[in-house]
Structure 1
Amino acid sequence: MSKVSGCLEGVSFLGPKSENANWLRSEFDRVLDQWFDWRRALFSEDPSPIPESIRLTPDFLAGQDMLSQKVRELSDMMTGEVPKYTPRYIGHMVSELSVPALLGHFVTLLHNPNNTSRDVARVSGRVEDEAISMLAAMIGFDPARAQGHFTSGGTIANFESVWRARYRMDHSLALGLCIAEKTGEPFDPVSFAHLGWEAHTALAATHNITDAELREASGVLGNPFRIAARITRASGREWNGPVLLVPGNKHFSWQKAANVFGLGEEAFWTIGLDRNGRLSLASLREAIERAFAAGRPVLAVVTVAGTTEAGEIDPVDGVCDVLDAWRDAGRDIWHHVDAAWGGFLCSMLGGDAGRVLSEHAGRALKAIRRANSVTLDPHKLGYVPYACGAFLVRDQASYANSTFAAPYIDRSAPNDRWMMTLEGSRSGSGAAAVWLTGKTLTFGPQGFGDIMAGTLDSRAYFEQALVSGCRLVRILEPADSNILCFSLAKQGEGLAASNARTRRVFEAFVGDPEFSVSRTELSVANYGALIDSHLDRYGGQADCQSLVLIRCVFMNPFWRNPQVRSALMPRFLDRLETHMN
């Protein structure tokens, strides 16, 4: 798909005024016609269970009329929903849907594939394979080696990473326990927990450890309390289990993961943040050293590429360097990048679209390819209908996890994922939406990357106009992605007073039908250094324990349009001024 009048989004989205309505209606009609014809032609000799004699009865027609009324009722109700398609909506991580994603979702929905098994998704399963390869290439994985699948969202994708990291660590701990109990050699759980698959395989062969023996020593497959006691005896040190290292800017799903996988909240260690609100490398190094000194392996280190609060991108490249040094020292630590928000920004890399990325963001996004696993959310910056997340790993070994029996599903089908996913049934519509997006827009800098560049450029434009137009605006810096946060403060003012003003203005926007914004609140406990940096810019005083911010998310592709900008920006500034008075 090529750019139209230099504006790729013009042909890729319906448009806030339904500008592409006639074309899109014809595409929907074509899809429905093909679906109807396919059903009529297949097994044409079979009798119809709904013959015309039934369809023309009063009861049948009345039933259709009743259903039509309820459809209209639901449609009318939905016109009262928040209008997220308009550029005036800059509230949360949701926006206009792309036409390719909408059509891909619709086409596949009609065929109702369940991607849990190729038994019922012969075509949709292959579409998922190809879509995963497209996303893998976008983030820099080798698509020939990468593995993955689509999920219901980022939370489950994050859970998938913990599941696989735990599986790898459990295998290595079981191996070390078997060797120690066989040979009487001292058992160091920390060293064995971080073998990595290659070293694990070699060591198992050297000591002739069987799968049956590993199963007997597994804390996941066996009784975890008995295994913990065995590890304590073999190591001569109380076994307290692994820790999960997650930065203070993490998504709430990580605390859920620690709970669901039985790690306990005590094992959920928070890595401190720097003055930019990003993971602190010094804090990471200290946490790893502290864990190892306490005899606690690191189940995984998590970095965030696009935080929910303000879109910050952690120094993924720096974290990779830290973990590479530990790997060289014989301790392979799993690294997961939660790129649910920022992963699609990788489409800008390698082309002119990347010009809008800061040097830091460019380095960090490019380093995602060095991680073990990655979370993406196509239903955010991919412009795909809900619910659609994705989980990817860089190779087959990293995809390994526990397997389960299901006698009603064919285990011989190649590439079946039913035994490799936390979710059982998985809709194929999200995968098809991504597939059609990738086939038309392409996930590169000349296609999708250009749209992403437009969203970052829009954020920068909005920031400049906001600062120029309102003297109380205090931008939260730096801005790594297309999310802009600001507070409203007088020079030298205390944080409590500016928080009160910012809250009041946000509440006024909630009741204002013209624009939708969101609000976020950063705690001193997690974001203390960032808050200090923010206050320093205007001499503000830290007299409370949080910073309240108005949050604007620039997903809508039409904010880059000059006519849209010139029409909406003055109006937003006017509403802001009104709400402050």
Structure 2
Amino acid sequence: MSLRPAAREHLFTNGTVDRYRRALADGLDRVATRISATDRPFTGVTPDQLALEVSAVDLDRPLGDVREALDELEDVYLRDAVYFHHPRYLAHLNCPVVIPALLGEAVLSAVNSSMDTWDQSAGATLIERRLIDWTAERIGLGPAADGVFTSGGTQSNLQALLMAREEAGTREHLRILTSAAGHFSVQKAAKLLGLGPDAVVVVETDRHRRMSPTGLARELQRCQEAGQTVMAVVATAGTTDFGSIDPLPAIADLCLAAGVWLHVDAAYGCGLLTSKTRRHLLDGIERADSVTVDFHKSFFQPVSSSAVLVRDRAVLRHATYHADYLNPARMVEQRIPNQVDKSLQTTRRFDALKLWLTLRIMGADAIGELFDEVVDRASAAFDLLSEDPRFEVVTRSQLSTVVFRFMPTGLPADLPADLARDLADRANLHAREALAASGAAVVAGTTVDGQHHLKFTLLNPETSLDDIAEVLELVAEHAGRFVREQTPDLTYSVG
């Protein structure tokens, strides 16, 4: 049975290119208008409020018209989206994106190459492989290096730890050592790999929230004495909360001496690969057995764009399975480059194109300049907070985060310390929620040593120190008001 003419009109074919142009032009105009008019990062809408509008849409009654659909999209998405391009979005590791990458996104979505096999991707396979080689060269992994693009740091870390487990030579009593400030995806990967709940051993950090080499040496020794096999040490080049970079040379020395796989999670810190002034902060990463990079964090790429790199391409065989209909083993003998032989995924987008066009239009130095800007801004924000008696700041980041805490001042001297800490906790939680509800700014929250803190994650070069100062005033205003309301009988000032 043939499709109805109206249905055919919506297929992207050589006969509908004019319709495609008009639809995309309408969509681009709508997004551009929204971006140009956005004066705050968020509207403060609640899940319950927005759920009512989304659930009211009848998906069995199509609108049939692009502009009507875009009008509806305004109400259920665009109006209340969180806009990372806004200079007062200071929460998570979400970056504003560069225009060349948006061009790549449009091209790759329209052509819709699938990266699993050569006969579905052709030149896309070669572009992805060239970018993997380029990244491995920047890291310094050596001539035998290889890798593959992934959906994000969680998948990259999972694949790296899968390879480490297979290379360990045993499945018994396996352990993974990682920093107390490391990413939760290490624990998630251990569970997905079928390891026990005690498989991940947390190594202490120093006062700058970096993995302690002394602590690592102690844990390596303890595991050896307990008859446990350390299948991997996961070092972090850019922790999510503190932007801390573990001492990679010292960790690499310990791993080499113990014969242990070293994985470096550089999902955040990979932007330093393009920095002319801070590349040295990654010294030692070239000694890793595997590395995670997230281009959609510090390379200003749209989600998703990540990769896992390995020193020895042979270890990628642990992700290889052959299917007669897709990538039969004989294709290896014919030297046909099927990326599914390296990947945990089968169908996979050509996300590498975004980075390719970024490098071809902007160049790596421009990416590095943008990343250096946000690192500089975070350093200035740390100084600003350090000089403000209303706040305490945890540690100076090596990258672009700032973790801090509003501290009520003017409280009675005889107020018990536990009550003062609880009051400060609740004030910081309230300030973050009130700020988001107002839509004026978005900041993140985290817990440090059992106490609630706030966090700036700076990835937008457009964010100025004035923006940061004004957000701090809003935080102090919300937190101070909360403290006054909670303690009406106390003499209190905001500092």
TM-score category of the 2 structures, normalised to the smaller one = 0.7 to 0.9
Q: What letter corresponds to residue 352 of structure 2 in structure 1?
A: A
Structure 1, residues 140-191: CA drift from partner, whole Å, max 9, x if none? 334x432111111111111111111122223xx5xxxxxxxxxxxxxxxxxx
Structure 1, residues 488-530: CA drift from partner, whole Å, max 9, x if none? 22579654343233223222212222111111112x4xxxxxx
Distance 2:167 2:456 in 1: 40
- State yes or no: 1:339 paired with 2:266: yes
Equivalent residue for 1:357?
A: none
2:404 counterpart SS class: strand
RMSD over aligned Cα atoms:
2.6
Equivalent pairs, count = 413
- The one of 438, 451, 457 aligned to 2:370: 451
- State yes or no: 1:550 paired with 2:454: yes
Instruction: Spell out the pairing of 1:88-237 with structure 2 (5 A cutoff).
Output: 88-142=88-142, 144-170=143-169, 173=170
1:113 counterpart SS class: coil
Cα 1:423–1:467 change in 2 (3 A) is same
- The one of 225, 228, 231 aligned to 1:296: 228
Instruction: Spell out the pairing of 1:215-364 with structure 2 (5 A cutoff).
Output: 240-326=172-258, 332-348=259-275, 351=276, 353-354=277-278, 364=281
Cα 1:63–1:299 change in 2 (3 A) is closer
Shift of 1:76: 4.3
Equivalent residue for 2:286?
A: 369
Shift of 1:124: 1.2
Distance 1:463 1:272 in 2: 24
Q: What letter corresponds to residue 477 of structure 2 in structure 1?
A: T
Shift of 1:478: 2.8
Shift of 1:439: 2.2
Answer whether contact 2:190 2:200 (CA < 8 A) is retained: yes
Cα 1:72–1:166 change in 2 (3 A) is same
- State yes or no: 1:505 paired with 2:409: no
Equivalent residue for 2:395?
A: 477
Distance 1:507 1:513 in 2: 10
Distance 1:496 1:346 in 2: 42
Distance 1:477 1:459 in 2: 11
Cα 1:293–1:569 change in 2 (3 A) is closer
Equivalent residue for 1:192?
A: none
Structure 1, residues 440-465: CA drift from partner, whole Å, max 9, x if none? 3333xx32211111011111222333
Shift of 1:364: 4.7
1:447 counterpart SS class: helix
2:178 counterpart SS class: strand
Equivalent residue for 2:352?
A: 431
Answer whether contact 2:390 2:406 (CA < 8 A) is retained: yes
Cα 1:403–1:392 change in 2 (3 A) is same
- State yes or no: 1:39 paired with 2:38: no
Answer whether contact 2:272 2:281 (CA < 8 A) is retained: no
- State yes or no: 1:572 paired with 2:471: yes
Answer whether contact 1:105 1:432 (CA < 8 A) is retained: yes
Cα 1:402–1:570 change in 2 (3 A) is closer
What is the percent sequence identity of the aligned residues? Answer: 27
Cα 1:41–1:495 change in 2 (3 A) is closer
Distance 2:352 2:195 in 1: 32
Cα 1:516–1:63 change in 2 (3 A) is closer
Distance 1:94 1:400 in 2: 33
Q: What letter corresponds to residue 462 of structure 1 in structure 2?
A: A
Answer whether contact 2:270 2:295 (CA < 8 A) is retained: no
Equivalent residue for 1:407?
A: 324
- The one of 367, 384, 403 aligned to 1:465: 384
Q: What letter corresponds to residue 157 of structure 2 in structure 1?
A: N
Structure 1, residues 213-256: CA drift from partner, whole Å, max 9, x if none? xxxxxx6xxxxxxxxxxxxxxxxxxxx42211122112121111
Distance 2:288 2:65 in 1: 54
Distance 2:256 2:363 in 1: 32
Q: What letter corresponds to residue 314 of structure 2 in structure 1?
A: A
Structure 1, residues 31-68: CA drift from partner, whole Å, max 9, x if none? xxxxx8x93699xxxxxxxxxxxxxxxxxxx9784454
Distance 1:565 1:290 in 2: 47
Q: What letter corresponds to residue 161 of structure 2 in structure 1?
A: V
Distance 1:515 1:134 in 2: 37
- The one of 371, 380, 402 aligned to 2:297: 380
Structure 1, residues 245-303: CA drift from partner, whole Å, max 9, x if none? 12211212111111111111122222122222111111111111111112222111101
Shift of 1:388: 2.3
Answer whether contact 2:105 2:353 (CA < 8 A) is retained: yes
TM-score by length of 1: 0.67
Distance 2:250 2:236 in 1: 13
Answer whether contact 1:88 1:515 (CA < 8 A) is retained: yes
Answer whether contact 1:134 1:438 (CA < 8 A) is retained: no
Distance 1:41 1:100 in 2: 25
Shift of 1:407: 0.6
Shift of 1:569: 4.3
Answer whether contact 1:141 1:394 (CA < 8 A) is retained: yes
Distance 1:473 1:402 in 2: 48
- State yes or no: 1:486 paired with 2:404: yes
> What are structure 2's unaligned runs of at least 5 residues?
1-11, 18-60, 482-495
Distance 1:570 1:243 in 2: 44
Cα 1:437–1:262 change in 2 (3 A) is same
Answer whether contact 1:465 1:569 (CA < 8 A) is retained: no
Equivalent residue for 2:307?
A: 390
1:79 counterpart SS class: helix
Shift of 1:308: 1.5
TM-score by length of 2: 0.78
Q: What letter corresponds to residue 73 of structure 1 in structure 2?
A: E
